[in-house]
Amino acid sequence: MSSQIDRIEGSGIPLRGDNIDTDRIIPARFLKAITFDGLGDHVFEDDRAALADHPFSNPVYRQAKVLLANENFGSGSSREHAPQALKRWGIEACVGESFSEIFRGNSLAIGLACVTVSREAVEQLMSLVEAAPDTPFSLSLQDRSLSADDLRVEIGVDNSVRDALLNGTWDATGMLLDDFDVVRGVAERVPYIRGF
């Protein structure tokens, strides 16, 4: 069983913009490897080169654990390298208006929580962090809440995601193998495997 994850505590990092795709999170040239090692060093590499004050280049956010994002974060390519790079950089939770489904699934598979809050709440949280980067965040999956300073917002998280993180079943292999005879049974009833 993988570790149980409930509370995530640490400072935040604001990343403004809708539709930030996984090619931007980790450009494809860094996928030419047979491990995920070192990906944290290259997170947002091209965006950082293009934007001198990119949050991921700003030392005041270097210890951040909670990424603040806008709409449709992680769209595009299914590369798990994207959440892997964020996690290896130090991110433990992504808080955004919305996420692409594949990114969210890949994040869950490595124990990285993706939770949603309203556009207004994201704006408040981003402004708060931009004004005071050290502000401690406390995210509780159990309570479905995120607190920062005297701000407390409700977070959206699917029951399945929340349960998997709270119960430590986000690494799904064990769960999927629990009842393997049933898997075999399905294989036997599916016409294209039976051979029509």
Partner 1 sequence: MGRTLLQKVWDLHTVRKLPTGQTQLFIGLHLIHEVTTPQAFDMLRARGIGVAFPGRTFATTDHIIPTLDQSRPFEDPLAETMLAALEKNCAEYSIPFWNLDSNHQGIVHVIGPELGLTQPGMTIACGDSHTSTHGALGAVAFGIGTSQVRDVLASQSLAFDPLKVRRITVDGQLASGVFAKDVILEIIARLGVKGGVGHAYEYGGSAIEAMGIDERLTICNMSIEGGARVGYVNPDQTTFDYLRGRPFAPQGEAFDRAVSWWGSTASDPDAAYDDVVEIPASEIEPRVTWGINPGQSVGVSDTIPATGAGVDEALAFMGLSGGAPIQGTKIDVAFVGSCTNSRLSDLREAARIARGQRVAAHVNALVVPGSQAVRAAAEQEGLDQVFRDAGFEWRGAGCSMCLAMNPDRLEGEQVCASSSNRNFKGRQGSPTGRTLLMSPAMVAAAALAGEVVDVRTVMSHV
**Comparison of 46 and 134: residue with beta carbon closer to partner 1:** 46
Min CB(94)–partner 1 separation in Å = 15
**Comparison of 59 and 191: residue with beta carbon closer to partner 1:** 191
**Comparison of 11 and 70: residue with beta carbon closer to partner 1:** 70
Min CB(144)–partner 1 separation in Å = 16
Min CB(80)–partner 1 separation in Å = 3
Min CB(149)–partner 1 separation in Å = 29
Min CB(55)–partner 1 separation in Å = 16
**Comparison of 13 and 81: residue with beta carbon closer to partner 1:** 81
d(CA 31, CA 84): 11
**Comparison of 134 and 163: residue with beta carbon closer to partner 1:** 163
Asked if residues 5 and 163 have their Cβ atoms less than 8 Å apart, the reply is no
Residues of the shown chain interacting with partner 1 in the complex, contacts defined by CB under 8 A: 17-19, 21, 23-24, 27-29, 31-36, 46-47, 49-50, 71-72, 75-81, 83, 98, 100-102, 105-106, 109-110, 158-160, 163-164, 167, 169, 171-173, 175-177, 179-180, 182-183, 186-187, 189-193, 195-196
Min CB(131)–partner 1 separation in Å = 24
**Comparison of 134 and 158: residue with beta carbon closer to partner 1:** 158
d(CA 161, CA 14): 23
Which string of DSSP letters, residue by residue, matches the chain? -PPP--EEEE-EEEE--S--BHHHHS-GGGG-SSS-TTGGGGTTHHHHHH-TT-GGG-GGGTT--EEEE-TTBTBS---THHHHHHHHHT--EEEES-B-HHHHHHHHHTT-EEEE--HHHHHHHHHHHHH-TTPPEEEETTTTEEEETTEEEE-B--HHHHHHHHHT--STHHHHHTTHHHHHHHHHH-HHHHT-
